[in-house]
Amino acid sequence: MAVAYPFSAIAGQEEMKLALTIAAVDPSVGGVLIFGDRGTGKSTAVRGLASLLPKMQAVEGCRYGCAPDRDTELCEPGCPKMQAGGGAVPTHETEVPVVDLPLGASEDRVVGALDLERALSHGEKHFEPGLLARAHRGFLYIDEVNLLEDHLVDVLLDVAASGENVVEREGLSVRHPARFVLVGSGNPEEGELRPQLLDRFGLSLEVETPTDLDTRIEVVRRRDAFDRDKQGFNKVWQDADDRLRQTILEAKQRLPETQVPDAALRRASEICIQLGTDGLRGELTLMRAARAAAAIDGDPEVTDTHLKRVARMALRHRLRRDPLDEAGSTTRVERVLSEIFDAEGEAGTARSGEAA
């Protein structure tokens, strides 16, 4: 197994690291899309996150890694939890899966298919799970996601919307759980992403090549040290990765208790209305991402600070094209944030002056 570059050792790219950490804390945020220049650490960050994730509990003997307290209705009849009829089942600790979906993968490889070897040798119809089954309760990573074939995009849209994979082919009728965090990366110069798939990503990032001299030097220095001695480099960063892993674990535990006050919901809706985002998915994602950010910070409730930190990544890909406004989507989000929060600050200053 290839040695992954430590997540904590990635220099710069703070927004990308925050977005991936948020997705690890709260998968309901809906996935992460990372677009940017080549060689900016997109794939490195995703693979580094895989080795950072805390382990999870899964049902012993289940092919899909079911959680002990979930997925009962969706799992196959052979799952020990289904056979237990709601009783206690043995569990084991396992790694959170991070599965690569290659661009050239066939549909059978992705969704699963008939096990031909078993069918020919034993005359039995047996389902061989695909990549979607392996990614259940984990992450499904697609590099160059904007080049993914349309028929695979359609499959991902169906599964992402329902949380289950349904296979009806070759005399098979199989339904199994397939809930995962979709992570995609790509270079926008090589083509755009289909709007239907773009909308399925909760967070979107625009990663650029660092222009700060010290940051560039540090990136090159660390990468060279890793390539020369991978094991030694990882030992140096082990403590930092352990601290971040503990932060993620504690944030997941705090998340159910982290409050989103009405004032924060009102502010989130105000931002989305001024930006003109379609539907209500923008507010939902903004609220969930801000709540995860608050849990990471150890704060009991969401504040304006958390909303401002995550608004760009939650909303930049949800804006309609405006032919009269040549500014990029990130600039438009920043402009609205400035208008709303600066206006609030000026109003507060005015009230203070009147009281004095």
Tokens for 268, please give them. Answer: 């989130």
Number of domains in the chain: 2
CATH assignment of the domain containing 262: 1.10.8.80
Question: Looking at the domain assignment, is residue 38 inside a domain?
Answer: yes
Q: Are residues 194 and 263 in the same domain?
A: no
Structure confidence at residue 260 (pLDDT)? 95
> In this predicted model, which residue has the larger pLDDT, 319 or 327?
319
Question: Looking at the domain assignment, is residue 77 inside a domain?
Answer: no
Mean pLDDT computed over 73-81: 69
pLDDT tens-digit series, residues 182-221: 999 888 888 888 888 888 899 999 888 888 899 999 999 9
Say if strands 181-186 and 98-100 run parallel, antiparallel, or are unpaired: unpaired
Query: Among candidates 295, 292, 341, which has minimal Cα distance to 314?
Result: 292
Question: Looking at the domain assignment, is residue 229 inside a domain?
Answer: no
CATH assignment of the domain containing 133: 3.40.50.300
Of 134, 281, 309, 321, which one is the catalytic site residue? Answer: 281
Question: Which pTM value belongs to this model?
Answer: 0.86
pLDDT tens-digit series, residues 163-183: 888 888 767 778 888 889 899
pLDDT tens-digit series, residues 116-127: 666 667 666 777
Q: Are residues 186 and 266 in the same domain?
A: no
Q: Domain residues for 327?
A: 256-350
Active site residue 332: no
Q: Are residues 134 and 260 in the same domain?
A: no
Structure confidence at residue 349 (pLDDT)? 46
- Do residues 29 and 180 touch, judged by C-beta distance below 8 A? no
Question: Looking at the domain assignment, is residue 161 inside a domain?
Answer: yes
Q: How far apart are CA 201 and CA 19, in angstroms?
A: 11
Q: Is the pLDDT of residue 350 over 70?
A: no
Q: Is the pLDDT of residue 301 over 70?
A: yes
Question: Looking at the domain assignment, is residue 90 inside a domain?
Answer: no
| Contacts of residue 113, Cβ cutoff 8 Å, sequence gap at least 6 | 127, 128, 130, 167, 169, 170, 172
Q: How far apart are CA 339 and CA 333, in angstroms?
A: 10
Q: Are residues 197 and 324 in the same domain?
A: no
Say if strands 56-59 and 112-114 run parallel, antiparallel, or are unpaired: unpaired
pLDDT tier, 290 (very low <50, low <70, confident <90, very high otherwise) = very high
Q: How far apart are CA 61 and CA 89, in angstroms?
A: 10
Q: Are residues 119 and 202 in the same domain?
A: yes
